[in-house]
Every structure is written in structure tokens, then in C-alpha cells.
Amino acid sequence: MRFEDIPLEQLSETSWEIPRTGGMLVPGLVFATSGMMEEIARDQALRQVMNVAHLPGILYRSIGMPDIHWGYGFPIGGVAAMDVGEGVVSPGGVGYDINCGVRLLRSNLEVAALRPRLPELVAALHRDVPSGVGSTGDVRVTGKEMDKVLAEGSRWAASRGYATSDDVEHTEDGGRFPAADPESVSATARRRGEDQLGTLGSGNHFLEIDEVEEVFFPEAAAAYGLFPGQAVFFLHSGSRGLGYQVCDDYLDVMTSYMRKHRIDVPDRQLACAHIGSDDGRRYLSALAAAANYAFANRQVLSHRVRETVQRLLGMGPRDAGIRLVYDVGHNNAKFETHDVDGRRREVLVHRKGATRAFPPGHPEIPDAYQEVGQPVFIPGDMGTGSYVLAGVPGAMRMSFGSTCHGAGRRMSRTQAKQSVRGKSVFGAMEKRGVLVACASHRTLAEEIPEAYKDVDTVVDVVDRAGIARKVARLKPVAVVKG
């Protein structure tokens, strides 16, 4: 089968190979159904999968997840692992919002009992959790304090009373990338992050109150503390202006590096440097620092949510039972050990709009989840639903322990805004039974449910492909957006 000039070979009901052509060093691999592939082929995402396959040192496959869509350099929903000796690191394979991620907070609350207080609670969360373009919080960090945030991540938050030891334990990598070097982060990036800790930001970032609608894997749901009818809190945010600036700074560095070392790639947005080079190491140190900022940001947000809910409902921590299930990033480049061509080796895995999905028994997931696998969170659109999944062994064989990170856009933001002219997004959401509070009506128009792919179909693909297993479906009841 061909989509325009892109050849495709269907490997299974849920996977396709793009054979090596031209300067591709490895084939492409995309997880999707036939119907989804037709939609995916409408933008440049498949071409970007092929472009990524040209990067020096890439191993096994250039991979696209079922939520794949056109991004900067790499497609959003792209995964690529590099040989640490010959390979490169590319900021386009991480994205501007470094360590953007999702965390889920469970509770002892039931939506049915909470519903009469929902309007009041949503208003309080909208007031207490800063959101919107350029939003600022009341946690200001400069100088040596900023150094500590960049070096320690969630552990800094714990030292300042914003996190418990349980929070730190249930965050990917213990909430800290150890390779961080605050000195590799520019003064401009640091200034942009001074007053943005504990802020959602805008765009597709959100705070949701969801109801656990259905459970598919009871053992994992029990391990994660989930039950039908339960109210849970979903947070999606990243490294804010600091991470954006780190990416911008190092794209310039990488562009110069490629000219100097005569690295030729099909798209200049794939600017890169060899992993072991001075420029490559500096970027990875800055990336780790921005990732730690993102962990700290989501932790301060979680603290605000807990405080607000408990205060409004007049409940203590034990009765409310608001506890972190897990926090996992989806814009990262990480050194990991994987089986490649029959042998164990260290690789650098780029995940852009893709999340870890490590299986039961993996040493890098919390002890509480060793029997069922790492929690994976797949947000859908704000009007339909989201999923909790669990990592499975198949992900280690097929996708470097990775799966999709969301439903994936099917409309650009401009198209979404144009499609709702003269319509009330608030009214449409109310008809769906979802309360909405937002800082910008324009942002809300960009995030209409119709702008996203069907999350049920996307999640069904990763479940059937064997790279993650469905645990529970969540239904939104209230949304706070920037």
C-alpha cells in the first residue's frame, strides 16, 4: 500500500512498516489500524517518521504511536533510540515543553457524593491553580534556590513541604534526573521560570476532575487505588517557559554543530549533536534540569489541588485520601538499557509525545506496582474520556518500553477555532455533563473535543498491539484549562 509516495507494509492489524528507502538507516514502524492510517497520512507525520530514520546511530526502527501527528522535527507520538557511541541527540525528538507529563491523583471521594459541590470546587481550583498564557504563581525561585529546583526536582518540593515521600516514590525516576547541571541552563531560561512554578500554562494543559467509569484490569486498578465511581484528579503540565527556552537555546547550538561536523539530515528541524560531544552532553544536562523543573512544577500543582479540595470540603488528608498514583513524562530523552538485535545495550531513547510503559518486574517502577506494571495515562479530549493503562512486556520488545501519550490532534488549533465560530463551547460541554473553567475562551475553542482523535480507538490499538494494557476508563466531570 502507498499513501502518496510513502510505501507501507502492513505487519498486523495494528502495525505498519515503512521500508528503508533513500538515506533511511532503519525502517519505520507505526502502530495504527487501516482506518487510522488514512487519517495519519493526511499530514506530514509519516514523512517525519522517515526523516527521523536518517539520524546517525538510530537503532531498530523509527517509531510512530497511534496518536501520531505532525510536529517540530520529530512527529508528536514519535520514538527513536540511539546508539550511545555513534548516535545523536536531537531537541526536536524531545520537544519544546521538556518533560511535559501527566500525573494522576486518586481520592477516597465518590463523584455522586461530590456532585452538589462541583461548581464551587471547580471555581476554587480555577482560582487557586494559576493557568493561562504567561501565568505566574506565588512560588518564586531565583539564584541558588533555582539551582536546587533544577538539580533536585520533586525532592526540592519535598524539602519545602510541597511533597511527601510517597509523592517522590511514585514519580518517574523518583522525580529527579540525576544528570542535571543548572549551569547549562541560560540566564534567559532561568528568568522565564522564576515565577512559573505551580502553574498549568495554556494550550492542551489541564486539571481535570474525572470519574472512574469502568475497570478492565481489577488487579492493577486495586494496586493503583482506583475503584468505579471514584473521583480522581488528572494534571497535565510541563516545564513552562524555562523548558521552552532551553529547547530554543540548544536548537541554535545543534544547528551550528551540524554545519561544523557536516551532518546531513532531510529536515533542518532535526538539528542534532553526537551524544558524547560537548554540545550533546550540555544539552542533555540542560534537558535534565528542565525536566526536574517540570517535576517540581507538577508537584506544587498537586499540593495546591490537595489543599484546595480538603479546605473546601472540610476534610483532613486521611479522609480525602488524595494520593499520587504516578507521574510520568512524555517529552524526554533518557539513557536506558534495552535488548537490541539480541543483546542488552545502553541506548538514548527519545520520546516526543510518547510515554514509558514499563512492564511488571522492571526495576525502575515503584515497588507497589511490581506485580501489575507501571501506570500509564492516556488523556483523551476534555469532553469524552481518558484511560489508565499498565505497561506490559511487549512494549520492551516493540517500542523501547513506550506507548502513546494521548488521543492526538486531528485538527490544527486554527481549524478548531474556525469550526466553532458562533457556537458556545461552554454550552456544548454542559450538554456533555462537564463543567468548564478557563482563563481564555480562545484556548477553549482550540481544545474542543472534535479537534482530537477518538481516544477509545487509539487506546484499543496499543492494547491489541500488546504495548500497554487497559486498566480503567475515566469520564471527565470538570475541567480547568488555561
- The residue count for the chain: 482
Distance between CA atoms of 171 and 340, rounded to whole angstroms? 27
Task: Single out the residue of 72, 111, 126, 110 nearest to residue 94, CA to CA.
Answer: 72
Catalytic entry in 54, 69, 126, 405: 405
Rg over CA atoms, the chain: 21
CA separation (Å) from 31 to 10, 80, 289, 379, 463? 10, 14, 32, 18, 11
Q: Does the active-site annotation cover 405?
A: yes
Long-range contacts formed by 463-467: CB under 8 A, 24+ apart: 463/389, 464/13, 464/14, 465/12, 465/14, 465/15, 465/31, 465/394, 465/398, 466/392, 466/394, 466/395, 466/398, 467/31, 467/357, 467/392, 467/394, 467/395, 467/398, 467/399, 467/402, 467/403
Residues 292 and 163 sit within 8 Å (Cβ to Cβ):
no
Position 67, amino acid:
D
Residues 301 and 171 sit within 8 Å (Cβ to Cβ):
no
Task: Single out the residue of 123, 51, 21 nearest to residue 272, CA to CA.
Answer: 51
Residues 17 and 11 sit within 8 Å (Cβ to Cβ):
yes
Dihedral (CA of 262, 58, 63, 221) sign:
negative
- Kindly compute the dihedral angle of the four CA atoms of residues 78, 171, 208, 107, in this order, to the nearest 10 degrees: 140
Q: Could you list the active site residues?
A: 405
